[in-house]
């Protein structure tokens, strides 16, 4: 293969790439987001600098069902998102993600730094209850429930559009061949081409079980705030580097010489 052929590959392996080139379109993406308060000191410990905690120690626990995603197929994911502040902007730091499909795990980690691990999340309607579960290594570690469409549609979708358009921040950490960090960055992503198809607020509950390899319970529920169920089409574009820990250290070292 020539150099230009190699550089034109979308991903590894060379024979049968794990995922195609983006951007990536999602149709009928369904969300269950349960919002609660936890301990403020845990929020501070869970945010990489220079991200700053908000005044209120809030966590979003999410289940996302993706039946139609370009290049990735059909899958479900679950995890924790921590609202934070970065350079004066309110953002969402993606803390933990668990899903059941290899291509989006590889792409999520390699491109944007999403903290993805393989597990078995599920989002389904059981009788009158929207129910999310997460199983890791044969053990259930999370269960969330929401009264199904008890609340009216959330206005005209503008509030939900704003939720989806909010900047997401990931910590992208990739070791080099020598074992030392070769990439250590904060990556920002903004979803685009968002069409909200339905949105409902209502009561919800969340149960988290301690697990060493899926530590969602490290952010325990102290007070429930509410639940949000919505469905949307959207595009996941490429991200941008907003903070580079290695380059910052190199610059400080040069200034000290």
Residue 116 a catalytic site member: yes
Cα distances (angstroms) measured from residue 34 to each of 78, 79, 133, 146, 207: 11, 11, 12, 8, 11
> Would you state the structure tokens that stand for residue 228, as one six-digit string?
């949000």
CA distance 229 to 105: 24
* DSSP assignment letter at 218: G
Biggest alpha carbon–alpha carbon distance for the chain: 67
* DSSP assignment letter at 153: B
Q: Is 19 exposed, middle or buried, given 0-12, 13-18 or 19+ CB atoms closer than 10 A?
A: buried
**Candidates 116, 122, 127, 197; catalytic one:** 116
Task: State the Cα torsion 186-191-192-197 to the nearest 10°.
Answer: -170
Closest CA to 228 of 142, 144, 115, 133: 144
Q: Residues 123, 99: contact at Cβ < 8 Å? A: no
Q: Does residue 95 have a cis peptide bond before it, meaning omega lies within 30 degrees of 0?
A: no
Residue 192: alpha-carbon gap to chain centroid: 16
Q: Residues 44, 57: contact at Cβ < 8 Å? A: no
> Would you state the structure tokens that stand for residue 6, as one six-digit string?
């190699």
Q: Give the residue numbers annotated as catalytic, written as ranges.
A: 116
């Amino acid at each position: 293969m020539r150099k230009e052929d190699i550089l034109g590959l979308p991903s590894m392996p060379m024979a049968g790439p794990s995922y195609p080139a983006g951007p990536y379109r999602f149709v009928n993406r369904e969300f269950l987001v349960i919002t609660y308060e936890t301990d403020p000191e845990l929020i501070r410990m869970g945010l990489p600098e220079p991200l700053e905690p908000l005044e209120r120690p809030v966590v979003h626990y999410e289940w996302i069902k993706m039946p139609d995603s370009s290049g990735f197929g059909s899958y479900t994911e679950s995890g924790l998102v921590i609202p934070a502040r970065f350079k004066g902007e309110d953002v969402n730091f993606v803390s933990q993600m668990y899903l059941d499909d290899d291509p989006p795990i590889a792409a999520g980690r390699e491109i944007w730094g999403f903290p993805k691990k393989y597990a078995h999340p599920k989002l389904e309607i059981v009788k009158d209850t929207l129910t999310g579960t997460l199983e890791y290594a044969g053990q259930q570690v999370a269960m969330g429930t929401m009264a199904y469409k008890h609340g009216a549609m959330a206005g005209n979708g503008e509030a939900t559009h704003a939720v989806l358009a909010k900047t997401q921040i990931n910590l992208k950490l990739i070791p080099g061949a020598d074992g030392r960090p070769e990439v250590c960055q904060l990556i920002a992503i903004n979803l685009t081409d968002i069409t909200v198809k339905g949105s409902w607020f209502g009561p919800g509950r969340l149960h988290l079980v301690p697990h060493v390899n899926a530590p969602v319970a490290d952010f325990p529920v102290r007070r429930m705030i509410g639940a949000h169920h919505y469905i949307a089409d959207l595009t996941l574009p490429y991200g941008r580097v907003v903070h580079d820990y290695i380059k910052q250290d190199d610059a400080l070292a040069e200034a000290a010489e």
